[in-house]
Structure 1
Amino acid sequence: MFSEWIELLGLIVVGFLSGGINAVAGGGSLLVFPALLATGMPPLVANVTNSVAQGPGFVGAAISQRADLGGAPQRLRWTSIAAAAGAVIGCVLLMVLPGSVFDAVVPALVGLSAVLMAFQNTIKRWLRHPEGGGPDRLVALTAGIFFASIYGGYFGGARSVILIAILAVAVNDSMRRLNALKSWLGLIGSAVTFVVYALIAPVDWVAVLTLVPTTVLGGYAGGKLAQRLPATLLRYLVVVIAAGVAVYLVLD
């Protein structure tokens, strides 16, 4: 009985931290995944439960950052469509493919996102897109968000890290506005996975109901914090989290 209360308290704390980290930089879902495994859940159940539980956290983050979404309707429209379509495909792949097929490339994807973020400004100079100037690379952006959302629908861990890395390279805007768009796209992808997994996947609803309130509160608090962090600090916080996630996935 005591151990059950410890597990419950642990999920509450981890849920709040993951919601905040997702809003600030991304990667918070990888705190919840091993916590669920520690309760004795099989990996597939832990994966889909984690994905469903993380979704509401993006609601809090998106609400707190909604003022930074305006001013680029074409960018918002196309990335939103790509995020929804990619998430659907990713969910279907999870149900029909063996886990080894996609899991093999997960560390490489997350590690690449860390590199992209670390050298964001250098890459933009190579592309002749100075910080804050020039048009978006809309085709590359849409394709990148689409494939990142397939990954997110399949596994979900560190999806936000990959999204923000793609946005940083393909979009010319402030980190604050990119972070708000990342939260919005995460919300769309999570909404899709929530519906699909609720219908066809083995979700542990007790764990979901425990995690949802804390991820919402953590996402709202993290979204407010993200608006006050300097752009350079936010970028390198993402780099550190992404690198840590990649190492975790390689060693796991």
Structure 2
Amino acid sequence: MTSIGTIIFLLVGGVAGGLLSSVASMASLASYPVLLAVGIPPVYANVTNDAALIWTSIGSTISSTKELKGHWKQVGFFSIFTVLGSIIGCSLLLSFPSNVFEKVVPIFIAFSGIMVLVTGKHHSLTPKKRANWQRILYIIALLGMGAYTGYFGAAGGVIVLVLLTYITNDRFIVINAIKNVITGLANLVALIIFAFTSHIYWLQAIPLAIGMFIGGYIGPIILRHVSAKIIRIFIACLAFFQAGYFFYKAYL
């Protein structure tokens, strides 16, 4: 049985994770350690975290209907690639251990942190001024990030955010809203697959999910009142922090 204290702990951790996910794509900085702290083994904590993470996307999507208005065709198009990629990634995870990616994850995350800062300077370019092959390359990269989400997923949302910044010409808050939806769908597909192939600690996942829904709903509201530049710096700092953490885990 889960105690009241544990439920509150998971709920608070979920709110923190939901805020980090909807604002900075870094939910696992809060939610994953919380699950480990209540005694769930690492592998199952990762799957259980995925089960709760879906509700962050639901909360942020409901809260971002204003930003998503007129962009649902884009969401549907990009989701095709992330969802197909997620299916591929889950298949790979069932065949190969996740530590195959662990060595390169810190590099990916650190690079994403740099790109979050750099893309702010180039965002004035319109899609028409970018070569078609570049846009195709970025879209194919979305397929790869969908696979990454299904396979390992650490900070994948930051990389997707960077890709969308180059593919589209929308405001940062709109791009972030699109990112929340398409990564949420990729996580949902991964959850459905893992629900039949792994073990989910539902008693712990439920209070964490409630907290993530709350945090996911609040996140976009905060974004409307904060400078995009400040958010980019915040995301980059968290990316560098997480890159350091995963580097330590992989190499030290």
- Do they fold alike, i.e. is TM over 0.5? yes
Among 120, 127, 138, the alignment partner of 1:134 is 127
- Partner residue in 2 for 1:127: none
Quick one: distance in 2 between partners of 1:69 and 1:25? 18
Q: Distance in 2 between matches of 1:218 and 1:74?
A: 26
* 1:36 pairs with 2:29: no
Task: Check conservation: 2:85, 2:147, Cα contact below 8 A.
Answer: yes
> How far apart are 1:27 and its partner, in Å?
0.6
Q: Distance in 1 between matches of 2:58 and 2:221?
A: 13
Give the Cα separation in 2 of the matches to 1:236 and 1:37: 29
Gaps of 5+ in 1: 125-129
Q: For 2:174, give the aligned amino acid.
A: R
Residue equivalent to 2:202:
205
Partner of 1:234, secondary structure, is: helix
Counterparts of 1:78 and 1:140 in 2: how far apart (Å)?
Answer: 15
Q: Percent identity?
A: 28
2:74 — aligned with what? 75
Residue 46 of structure 2 corresponds to residue 53 of structure 1: no
AA matched with 1:12: L
Letter in 2 for 1:22: S
> 1:132 offset after TM fit, Å?
5.6
The answer to whether the 8 A contact 2:75-2:181 is kept is no
Aligned pair in 2 of structure 1 residues 121, 215: CA closer, same or farther (>3 Å)? closer
Counterpart in 1 of 2:19?
20
Distance in 1 separating the partners of 2:50 and 2:154: 8
In structure 2, runs of 5+ residues without a counterpart are none
**How has the CA–CA distance of structure 1 residues 134 and 156 changed in structure 2, closer, same or farther, with 3 Å as cutoff?**
closer
- State the superposition RMSD in angstroms: 2.1
Aligned residues of 2:10 and 2:34 also touching (Cα < 8 A)? yes
* Partner SS state of residue 57, structure 1: helix
Report if the CA contact (8 A) 2:14-2:209 is conserved: yes
Q: How does 1:29-178 map to 2 (within 5 A)?
A: 29-72=28-71, 75-122=74-121, 124=122, 131=124, 133-135=126-128, 138-178=135-175
Residue 219, structure 1, aligned to residue 221, structure 2: no
AA aligned to 1:206 is: L
SS at match of 1:244: helix
Amino acid at match of 2:145: A
- How far apart in 2 are the matches of 1:141 and 1:229? 28
For the residues of structure 1 that align with 2:11 and 2:60, how far apart are their CA atoms?
18
Deviation string 1:159-191 (CA, Å, 9 cap, x unpaired) is: 222211222233222101111111111221122
Residue 132 of structure 1 contacts residue 174 of structure 1 at CA under 8 Å; is this kept in 2? no
Aligned length: 245
Write the distance in 2 (CA, Å) between the matches of 1:37 and 1:62.
28
1:40 aligned partner, one-letter code: G
For residues 37-81 of structure 1, what are the alpha-carbon distances to aligned partners after superposition, in whole Å with 9 as ceiling and x for unaligned? 222222211111111111111101011112222445663333110
Output the amino acid matched with 1:133: T
Sort the Cα spacing of 1:30 and 1:157 in 2 relative to 1 into closer, same or farther, 3 A. Answer: farther
Deviation at 1:8, TM superposition (A): 3.1
Cα offset, 1:91, TM superposition:
1.7
- Normalising by structure 2, we get a TM-score of 0.89
243, 246, 249: which one aligns with 2:243? 246
Q: Deviations over 1:213-243 (max 9, x none)?
A: 1110110011211222211112111111111
Instruction: Give the whole-Å Cα distance in 1 for the aligned partners of 2:201 and 2:164.
Output: 33
